[in-house]
Structure 1
C-alpha cells in the first residue's frame, strides 16, 4: 500500500482532516486528496514535515507497513522480511529499526516506486534513497538517478548521449509492444535529455524492499 494511503488511515484513526494536516505542514489545499486519487507518492521533504509535526506517527509504518501505526518507547528491534541494498551491496538479514531511521535521515531523497519501467531492478512499492548530485559534470554513466525537471520526475539509468550537453535516460524494463504499429518497439524507450532541463539530480545509493 502506498504511503499516501497509509497516511489517510492514520488521519482517519486520529480524526485529522486532510485540510488540517495540509495547513499544519504548509501544503497547498487539496494536495493530499489529489495524490490519493492519483495513487501518487509523497516526497521526502513532505514525509519529514509530517513525521516531525505528528511525532506519534511511526515512519516505518508509514513507509514500510512495519510495526504499529503509533510510536511506542521500545528497544531497537529488527525489521523482518525486508532486504536493504546500499551502494549495490545487499544485506539480506533482519534490518535494525535504528539503522533504517539513521539511513533515511542521511539521505537527500526518498521515494516509493509506483510504476514498472525500472523492473526487474526496482519494483512497485520499493523504497529508493538518493544523494543529491551538486555538479552535473560528475554524473557517472551506467548508474541510476532520479531526474527532476520542470515537467516530470523520473527514475532512469543514465548513459552517454551522442548529443552535446545531454545524457541518455534508459529504463531496465525491456518489454515491447505486442501488436499494432508499435509492435516490437520498447514500451519504455531510451531518450536524450538536455542537462539544462534538469533541475535536480539524485544518485540512487540504496533501496529497501519487502519480501
Structure 2
C-alpha cells in the first residue's frame, strides 16, 4: 500500500540537492546586485551607513560598507557554485539580519504598502505609513494622468507605493538559514565533491 510512498521518498533522497540548488540560484542575482550597487556607489554607501541624520548612523561606516560588499558579492558567487556554502550563507544571513534591524524594521513587515493587507494593521510590526498608501497612490495617479504618459507608465503593471518593510530581507534570511543548516546540496555543489575528496 505504501510502496509508492517509499519510492517517492527514495526519489526525493536522490534529488535532495535540487531544492538547495534552486535556493542558491534564486539568491545569487538578488544579493550580487545588492553588493554591486553598493560597490559602484561606494562613497554614497559609506555616507549612508555613517550619517546619523538621514542614514543608518552605524559606527565604522567604511569598514562595514566594505564588509557588506564583500559578503554580498563574494558570498553570492560562492552560493552560485555551492562552494563554502555554509560560510557564505552565514555571512549573508548576518548581513540580512543587520539590514532587517537597521533599515527595514521601522517600516513594518510589508515591502509594498498595501493597506488592504491583513498585515497592514501592525499584526507583524506596525507602520502608520501603510494606511496612507491608497491616498498617496491615488494622488500619484492623478498627477501622472494629468502631466505624464500614464498608459505607458502603467502598461507593465500597477503602480505601487514602496513601503520597504522587512518582508523581502526576512525571506532571504530564512532561505539563507536553510543553506546554513543543509549546505550546498548533494551532487549539485562543489562542497559535495570536496567533502567526498573528488576534487584534486
Q: Relative contact order: is structure 1 or structure 2 higher (C-alpha 8 Å, sep ≥ 6)? A: 2
Radius of gyration: which is bigger? 2
Structure with the largest fraction of strand: 1
Task: Give TM class, smaller chain.
Answer: under 0.3
TM-score, scaled to structure 1: 0.26
What's the TM-score once normalised by structure 2's chain length?
0.27
